[in-house]
Amino acid sequence: MLKLDAPLIHHAERAFGPSQKDPKTFESALMPGHLSLYGIARAIAMIATAHAELLQIKKGFDLNRNSGWVVVGLRLRTSGAIPLDVPIRCSTWVATIDSGRLIREYELSLDGHILAVATQDFILFDRDKRRAMLPPKAARDFLRGLDRKHSYSIDVSRQTENFFPASQACDIKTSSPFFIDETTIDDNNHLNNSVYLRWLEEALTIKPQAGLELGLEYINEATLGQSMQVCSAPALKASEISHLRFCLRDDEKNFALGEVLLPS
C-alpha cells in the first residue's frame, strides 16, 4: 500500500512543444524562456494525476460509478521564475479531506530551491447529475492526509454577489472574449481548469515571477461553444505591489473568480 507520509516525487521536463492534445507551447510570452502560469498549472495537473493513479483513483473511488475528482479552488505562490528545458522536481501529497473537499498540496523545485507552491481543492463529481457528491467513508479514512503545510495571504470567497464593490465600478476593465473550443475541453467535458490560467495571463499580463500569489475559485461549469471575458479591478493600490480582483464571466454568470498579488 502507498505510504501517504512520503510525497510522490516526479521529474518532469518543462520543455513542452506542440502536440495533438495541446497545440500551444507553455513558454511564457511575458518572460521568454520561462514556464508560464499555464505551464505550472499543467505541471501540477500531471503530478496530481500520477499520484491519484497510485492511490487507485481514476474516475472516482468506485469503478461502478460515473464520477471523478474535479478542481474547485486553486492557491498558487511563486518564489522565482522557472526556466525551460530543465528537469523540475514536482512533489504532491494529500493534505486532508475537509467537509468533502480533498485538499492537495504541491511543490515545484529546482536544485533544492522551491520555485512555486500550490494548493488545490477537489470535490467528487457525479458526471451524470453534474453535482458534487460526498466521497465514501472508506475513501475519506484512507485519504486523511498529512495535514496542511502551506498557507496563503489571499482568501477568496465563493460569494459572487457584489464581488466588485460599487466603489470599483468605474475601475473595472474587461478583456476581449475567450472562446471555448475542442482543444480546451477536458475528460469531464468542460473547460480544463488550467486554461483559466492561460487566459488570465493574457488578459492581466501576469508574469510568473517571484512574489506572485494567486487565488482562484471555480464557480460554474464552462462548456464547448461558450465564451467568457476577464473582468478586473484594483483591490488595493500601493507603490510596490498591485492587488487585483478578477472574474471570468459571460452575460449570464460567473465561471471563476479570484484575486492576484503582483509585485512591481
What's the pLDDT score for residue 112?
87
Residues 6 or more apart from 21 whose CB is under 8 A from it?
Answer: none
CA dihedral for 240, 174, 260, 111, sign (positive or negative): negative
Model confidence at 239, pLDDT cuts 50, 70, 90, reads low
**pTM given for the model:** 0.88
Model confidence at 62, pLDDT cuts 50, 70, 90, reads low
Place of cell 507551447: 25
Model confidence at 230, pLDDT cuts 50, 70, 90, reads very high
Under a CB-based contact definition with an 8 Å cutoff, are residues 94 and 145 in contact?
Answer: yes
What's the pLDDT score for residue 17?
36
Under a CB-based contact definition with an 8 Å cutoff, are residues 57 and 104 in contact?
Answer: no
The predicted model gives 2-26 an average pLDDT of 46
